[in-house]
Amino acid sequence: MCISITKINCDEEENTVQVLGRPNSVNVQKVMWCLAELGLKADRYDVGGAFGGNDRPDYLLQNPNGKIPTLIDGDYVLWESNAIVRYLCDKSRSGSWYPDNAQKRGHANQWMDWYQTTLHRPMTTLFWQLVRTEPQLQDQGEINAAIAECSAYWAILDQHLEQRRYILGAHITMADIPLGCAAYRWHRMVFDRPDLPALKAWWTLISERSDYQKHVMLPLT
Ligand SMILES: N[C@@H](CCC(=O)N[C@@H](CS)C(=O)NCC(=O)O)C(=O)O
């Protein structure tokens, strides 16, 4: 494939996957954090946002949505961040990341899909309003509605985590990745947050991981 965009951390080794996507995208962060936890080598290319490139014909050949991230693993191309996380954990079978039975995988997929279909939308509204909109142009009504909606959803996870260390229980799994990335934004953005102690305890545990710090705990931009 022809890629003429800036390549980051290139080590030119075989078995190195390529990730197309800018580092401040929550969906790219899921993939980069996952790869690092699994001990897999990756070259990341700056695509999307201010870097552009995702509307180019060679990019659209790989991902017709023109969205990031896209994963390239040899001849294999995959898009949709949660699908990429599942693929990597399944392929690697490293540690506890890919649950070892169908019922546990069902629950992991449930929480991953819940994030993507339910919490991601109001979190994106809140993020765009608080981080990517000039203060004088922010819509306080939209912010308040997004905080209320997000708070109700995070409270569901908070209650679930009251009896658990990680989302599936004692061990960290792929279920913790999408919600873990979103939890950084939730706790780092500046607004009047509700007190959700079990959620905070889980996020604090995840925040201690060096790969999470490196790939997710970046300046909010
Ligand atoms: N459901 C897709 C969503 C992909 C998506 O919307 N990515 C955003 C960045 S988070 C994007 O490509 N935005 C356009 C851009 O960055 O130029 C996934 O999870 O991969």
Cβ(29)–Cβ(44) below 8 Å: no
Q: What digits encode the pLDDT tens for the residues 65-90?
A: 999 999 999 999 999 999 999 999 99
Domain interval for residue 17: 7-92
Residue 35 lies in a domain: yes
Ligand 1 atom showing the smallest separation from residue 54 Cα: 17
Mean pLDDT of all residues belonging to the chain: 95
Name the domain count of the chain: 2
Measured from CB, residues less than 6 Å from any atom of ligand 1 are 25-27, 48-49, 54, 67-69, 80-82
| Same domain? 50 vs 139 | no
Residue 1 lies in a domain: no
| Same domain? 47 vs 122 | no
| Same domain? 106 vs 201 | yes
Maximum Cα interatomic distance, the chain, rounded to a whole number of Å: 51
| Same domain? 24 vs 79 | yes
The residue with greater pLDDT, 5 or 219, is 219
CA nearest ligand 1 atom 2, residue: 80
- Start-to-end CA distance of the chain, whole Å, equals 30
Residue 218 lies in a domain: no
Q: What digits encode the pLDDT tens for the residues 170-183?
A: 999 999 999 999 99
Residue 221 lies in a domain: no
pTM attached to this predicted model: 0.94
| Same domain? 206 vs 107 | yes
Q: What digits encode the pLDDT tens for the residues 8-58?
A: 554 555 689 999 999 999 999 999 999 999 999 999 999 999 999 999 999
Residue 219 lies in a domain: no
CATH number at residue 24: 3.40.30.10
Distance from the alpha carbon of residue 65 to the mean position of ligand 1, in angstroms: 9
| Same domain? 130 vs 154 | yes
